[in-house]
C-alpha cells in the first residue's frame, strides 16, 4: 500500500539578487531594461517527495541550501520557480528566536506561538502545563524573552514545537545550543513523534544524530540535490568529498560511487549520482593508485578466520597492503560501524603513536590491530583508511585510500555470560561496602576470573595434562587472566618462573601476539633446597619435579606455539636472572613454590610490571614459603595489593 505524500517539491529553485552597491537596486527599478544584479541560485531544480512517517536528514556544507530548502517547505520563503505542496500541521525550529516576540514573556509567547501554529486558545491552555514542564525554565517563564539565555530560548521554543502534536516537525540545528540533558530529552521526544507517525525534517552536522533519527537523507551541494538515499551512503559521500577537498593532492584522489551493479563510477558528476539514487548506491570509496588493499581479515586467538565472534572475544583485524610508491610516513586505521552506519569506534597508527615507518615501492605490509569485541550483539562493518604524513590531532596531508565495508562480521552473545544493556560493554567491577563492616568485599572483582570456562576445553586439557601438575581449573584461570591482559592492551611480555614440563607455558603461548613474547625460567633439575620458612613438609619435595627442555619444547609444539617468540632459560634463577630480562612484563606466572625463589622472582620482575599487569602465585594456598615470601615482599615494598584467591591454592593480583 502506497503511503500518502505529505511534502512534495517539483522543480523548486530559489534565486537571490546580489547588488554591488545599494544604488544599483534603485537603478534596476527605474531602468528595468538593464539588469544590475548578480544572480545567486541558492536552490536549483529540487525534486523531492516525503511520504507520511518518513524522517529526512539534510546534509551539506554551510551555504549548500539546507536552510533555504527548509524555509521554503515551512512557507517562510517563496520559491522563485517550482511547486511546493505540504499536507499537515507543521511546526518549525528554523533559527533561534523565530516566531517569538522578545518583549513578551515566555508565557505570552507560548500562547502567541501556539495560535500562529493553528491551535485555538483552549487547545493551547490544555497543553500549557505540558509545555512548561518540558521547557523547565522555572520562574523565567513569566519574564520577557529578551532576558533569556540562548539555552533557555531553545528550551521554550522546542517545547512549544514538539508539544502541539505536529504532523511535520522541522529542526534546523537549533539543538546545538542546549545542554546535554536537554538534548537527550529532545531526541527522546523526536523519536516518540517519529514512532507515532509524524514526519521529521532534521538538519545537523552531527552525523550520529542523523543515523539515530532519520530513515533517509539527502545531500545538498551548491543548491543541487546530489544524493537521496539511506543515511549511510549520503554521509559517506559527504565525508569523502570533504576528505578530497582538504587533501594536498586532491586531483589524484578518486571518489568512487559503487552502485548495486558493482560498477564503480570514478569522480562521478552530478548526473551520475542522481541517476543511481536512491536505492542503487551501494558504497562510497576514496582511492589512489599508489596503494592497494590486498586483504582484510578478522582472526581469532588461534589465527583462524572468523565471521561471528562472541561478545568480549579477543580478535585480530589483519590488514595486508601493497604500496606501489615509496612513502615516508604512511599510517593505517580502521573504524567499526553498526548496521545503520553509525561510528562506534575508530583509531589509527598515528594516534596510537605506532608509526609504520618508511615503505618502499611494491612493499607488502601487514598491519594487525588486536582488540576485544566489547560491543553488543549485532551486525557490523569495518572501514579501512590509509593516509600519509600525519600531523596535529589525527590529521593527514594525503589520503591514500578510504574503503567502507571492507569487512563485515556479526557479534553473538554467549548465553551463559552475564546480561548487560547498551552498545559497549564496560566490564564493570562491583564492590559492596556495608556500613558495619571495615572491609570491602569484592562481589564481582574480576569478570574474567568468574566467567564460564571457555578456554581450556576437553581436547586442550588432554594435550596439556601430561606436562603439568596444575588442575584444569587453575589452567582455566591462567588463560582468563592472560586474555584479560590482552583485552586491556597491557604492554609487556609474559613470564613464567617454574615451568616444569611446559603445560602452563603452552597454554600461555596461545595468547601471544606479534608484539608479546614468552620468557620461561626453570632449572629443569627438580625443586631446590628449602629454608625454615618453607615449613616441615617442603623438604620432602626437594629434587622432585625433574623435567627436560625437550619436554617443554614438545608441549609447545602440541599447540603450535610461535617458537621464535618463546625464550627458554634453563638454570637456577640466581644465574638466569643475571642475563637479559624482558623490558616489560604484562603477566608474571610464578610457580616457584619456595620462599627464596618466590621472593627473588617478585623482586626481579615487579618493577617491570606496568599498571594493570597481573601477578599469579600458583601454590599460594599450598606452600607456606610462597605465602611468607608474598607477605615479606609486600612489607618491604609497602604494597597493599588486593589479592584474589582462586580455589584452595592459586592467588593473583592486578598491579595498581
Q: What share of the chain is helix, strand, coil (3-state, %, to 5)?
A: 30, 30, 35
Give the count of domains, the chain: 3
Distance CA 526, CA 528 (A): 6
Structure confidence by residue, pLDDT tens digits, 319-351: 999 999 999 999 999 999 988 888 899 999 999
Structure confidence by residue, pLDDT tens digits, 416-475: 777 888 888 887 877 777 665 444 333 323 333 334 447 888 888 888 999 998 888 889
Scored b (16 or more CB within 10 A) or e, 530-544 reads beebbbeebeebeee
Task: Assess contact for 487 and 313: CB atoms under 8 A.
Answer: no
- Do 521 and 563 lie in one domain? The reply is yes
pLDDT, residue 97, reads: 57
Structure confidence by residue, pLDDT tens digits, 41-95: 999 999 999 999 999 999 998 889 998 999 999 888 999 999 999 998 888 877 6
Q: What is the CATH number of the domain that holds 450?
A: 3.40.50.150
Q: What are phi and psi of 538, to 5 degrees?
A: -65, -35
Task: Assess contact for 519 and 582: CB atoms under 8 A.
Answer: yes
Flag whether 606 is in a domain: yes
Q: Which helix (H) or strand (E) holds 161?
A: helix 150-162
| CA 474 to chain centroid | 34
Flag whether 584 is in a domain: yes
Q: What are phi and psi of 41, to 5 degrees?
A: -90, 105
| Burial class of residue 61 (count of CB atoms within 10 Å of its CB; 0-12, 13-18, 19+) | middle
Give the pairing of strands 254-259 and 281-287.
antiparallel
Flag whether 451 is in a domain: yes
Q: What is the CATH number of the domain that holds 310?
A: 2.70.50.60
- Do 273 and 296 lie in one domain? The reply is no
Radius of gyration over every alpha carbon of the chain, rounded to an integer in angstroms: 33
Q: Which helix (H) or strand (E) holds 521?
A: strand 518-522
- Do 364 and 395 lie in one domain? The reply is yes
- CA distances 117 to 5, 337, 444, Å, are 21, 40, 55
Residues 6+ apart with CB under 8 A from 296: 317, 318, 319, 320, 382, 384, 406, 407
- Do 351 and 413 lie in one domain? The reply is yes
Distance CA 212, CA 193 (A): 14
- Do 611 and 590 lie in one domain? The reply is yes
For residue 314, the number of C-alpha atoms closer than 13 Å in the C-beta half-sphere is: 23
Task: Give the SS3 label for residue 399.
Answer: strand
pLDDT, residue 281, reads: 62
Q: Which residues of the chain have pLDDT under 70?
A: 1-2, 95-98, 174-179, 258-282, 434-453
pTM equals 0.58
- Do 297 and 275 lie in one domain? The reply is no
Residue 498 per-residue DSSP state: -
Q: What are phi and psi of 3, to 5 degrees?
A: -75, 150
- Do 481 and 622 lie in one domain? The reply is yes
Task: Assess contact for 394 and 348: CB atoms under 8 A.
Answer: yes
DSSP H stretches of helix in 606-647: 624-637
Distance CA 568, CA 563 (A): 10
- What strands, in cross-sheet order, belong to the sheet with 90-93? 90-93, 168-172, 199-203, 55-59, 216-221, 224-229
Distance CA 352, CA 216 (A): 35
pLDDT, residue 347, reads: 95
pLDDT, residue 314, reads: 92
Residues 6+ apart with CB under 8 A from 449: 477, 480, 481, 644, 646, 652
| Burial class of residue 509 (count of CB atoms within 10 Å of its CB; 0-12, 13-18, 19+) | buried
Q: Which helix (H) or strand (E) holds 114?
A: helix 106-116
Flag whether 317 is in a domain: yes
Distance CA 276, CA 575 (A): 72
- Do 445 and 554 lie in one domain? The reply is yes
Distance CA 70, CA 60 (A): 13
Task: Give the Cβ contact number of residue 63 at 10 Å.
Answer: 14
Which of 249, 280, 311 represents a domain boundary (last residue)? 280
Scored b (16 or more CB within 10 A) or e, 446-460 reads bbbbebeeebbeeeb
DSSP bridge partners of 399: 387
- List the domain range (segments joined by +) for residue 415: 288-426
- Do 409 and 362 lie in one domain? The reply is yes
pLDDT, residue 421, reads: 85
- Do 366 and 451 lie in one domain? The reply is no
Which residue has 533519527 as its cell numbers? 213
| CA 138 to chain centroid | 38
Flag whether 197 is in a domain: no
- Do 460 and 603 lie in one domain? The reply is yes
Flag whether 108 is in a domain: no
pLDDT, residue 315, reads: 94
Average pLDDT over the chain, rounded to an integer: 85
Flag whether 310 is in a domain: yes
Which of 261, 280, 299 represents a domain boundary (last residue)? 280
- Do 560 and 505 lie in one domain? The reply is yes
- CA distances 525 to 77, 229, 375, 542, 626, Å, are 91, 72, 48, 10, 20
Flag whether 398 is in a domain: yes
pLDDT, residue 441, reads: 38
Amino acid at each position: 500500500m502506497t503511503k500518502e505524500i505529505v511534502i512534495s517539491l517539483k522543480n523548486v529553485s530559489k534565486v537571490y539578487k546580489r547588488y554591488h552597491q545599494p544604488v544599483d537596486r534603485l537603478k534596476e527599478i527605474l531602468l528595468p531594461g538593464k539588469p544590475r544584479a548578480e544572480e545567486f541560485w541558492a536552490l536549483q531544480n529540487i525534486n523531492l517527495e516525503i511520504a507520511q512517517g518518513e524522517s529526512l536528514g539534510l546534509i551539506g556544507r554551510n551555504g549548500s541550501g539546507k536552510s533555504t530548502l527548509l524555509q521554503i517547505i515551512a512557507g517562510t520563503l517563496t520559491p522563485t520557480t517550482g511547486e511546493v505542496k505540504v499536507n499537515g500541521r507543521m511546526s518549525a525550529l528554523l533559527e533561534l528566536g523565530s516566531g517569538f516576540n522578545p518583549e513578551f514573556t515566555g508565557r505570552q509567547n507560548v500562547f502567541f506561538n501556539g495560535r500562529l501554529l493553528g491551535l485555538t486558545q483552549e487547545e493551547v491552555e490544555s497543553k500549557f502545563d505540558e509545555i512548561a514542564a518540558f521547557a523547565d525554565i522555572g520562574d523565567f517563564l513569566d519574564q520577557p524573552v529578551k532576558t533569556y539565555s540562548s539555552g533557555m530560548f531553545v528550551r521554550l521554543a522546542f517545547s512549544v514545537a514538539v508539544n502541539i502534536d505536529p504532523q511535520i516537525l522541522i529542526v534546523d540545528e537549533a539543538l546545538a545550543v542546549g545542554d546535554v540533558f536537554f538534548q537527550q530529552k529532545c531526541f527522546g521526544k523526536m523519536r516518540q513523534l517519529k514512532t507515532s507517525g509524524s514526519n521529521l525534517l532534521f538538519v545537523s552536522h552531527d552525523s550520529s544524530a542523523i543515523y539515530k533519527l532519520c530513515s533517509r537523507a539527502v545531500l545538498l551541494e551548491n543548491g543541487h540535490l546530489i544524493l537521496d538515499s539511506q543515511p549511510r551512503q549520503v554521509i559517506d559521500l559527504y565525508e569523502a568529498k570533504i576528505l578530497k577537498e582538504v587533501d594536498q593532492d586532491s586531483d589524484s584522489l578518486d571518489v568512487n560511487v559503487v552502485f548495486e551493479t558493482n560498477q564503480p563510477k570514478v569522480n562521478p558528476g552530478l548526473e551520475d549520482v542522481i541517476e543511481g539514487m536512491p536505492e542503487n548506491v551501494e558504497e562510497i570509496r576514496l582511492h589512489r593508485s599508489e596503494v592497494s588493499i590486498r586483504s582484510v581479515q578478522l582472526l581469532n586467538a588461534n589465527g583462524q578466520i572468523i565471521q561471528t565472534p562472541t561478545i568480549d572475544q579477543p580478535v585480530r583485524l589483519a590488514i595486508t597492503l601493497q604500496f606501489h610508491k615509496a612513502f615516508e610516513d604512511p599510517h593505517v586505521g580502521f573504524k567499526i560501524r553498526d548496521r545503520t552506519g553509525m561510528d562506534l569506534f575508530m583509531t589509527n597508527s598515528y594516534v596510537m603513536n605506532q608509526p609504520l615507518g618508511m615503505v618502499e615501492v611494491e612493499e607488502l605490509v601487514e598491519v594487525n590491530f588486536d582488540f576485544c569485541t566489547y560491543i553488543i550483539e549485532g551486525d557490523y562493518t569495518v572501514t579501512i583508511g590509509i593516509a600519509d604524513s600525519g600531523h596535529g590531532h589525527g590529521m593527514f596531508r594525503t589520503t591514500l585510500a578510504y574503503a567502507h565495508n571492507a569487512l563485515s562480521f556479526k557479534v553473538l552473545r554467549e548465553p551463559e555470560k552475564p546480561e548487560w544493556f547498551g552498545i559497549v560493554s564496560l566490564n564493570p567491577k562491583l564492590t559492596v561496602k556495608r556500613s558495619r563492616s571495615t572491609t570491602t568485599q569484592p562481589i564481582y572483582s574480576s569478570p574474567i576470573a568468574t566467567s564460564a570456562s571457555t578456554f581450556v576445553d576437553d581436547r586442550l586439557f588432554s594435550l596439556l595434562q601430561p606436562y603439568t601438575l596444575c588442575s584444569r581449573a587453575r589452567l582455566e584461570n591462567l588463560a582468563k587472566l592472560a586474555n584479560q591482559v590482552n583485552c586491556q592492551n597491557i604492554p609487556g611480555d609474559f613470564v613464567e618462573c617454574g615451568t616444569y614440563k611446559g603445560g602452563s607455558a603452552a597454554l600461555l603461548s596461545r595468547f601471544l601476539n606479534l608484539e608479546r613474547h614468552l620468557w620461561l625460567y626453570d632449572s629443569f633439575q627438580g625443586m631446590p633446597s628449602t629454608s625454615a620458612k618453607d615449613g616441615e613438609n617442603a623438604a620432602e619435595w626437594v629434587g622432585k619435579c625433574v623435567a627436560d627442555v625437550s619436554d617443554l619444547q614438545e608441549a609447545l609444539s602440541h599447540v603450535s606455539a610461535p617458537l621464535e617468540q618463546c625464550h627458554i632459560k634453563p638454570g637456577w634463577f640466581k644465574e638466569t636472572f643475571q642475563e637479559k630480562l624482558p623490558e616489560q612484563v604484562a603477566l608474571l606466572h610464578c610457580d616457584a613454590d619456595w620462599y627464596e625463589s618466590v621472593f627473588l622472582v617478585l623482586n626481579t620482575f615487579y618493577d617491570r610490571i606496568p599498571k594493570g599487569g597481573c601477578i599469579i602465585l600458583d601454590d599460594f594456598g599450598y606452600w607456606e614459603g610462597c605465602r611468607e615470601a608474598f607477605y615479606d615482599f609486600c612489607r618491604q615494598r609497602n604494597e597493599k595489593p588486593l589479592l584474589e584467591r582462586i580455589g584452595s591454592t592459586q592467588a593473583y593480583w592486578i598491579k595498581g
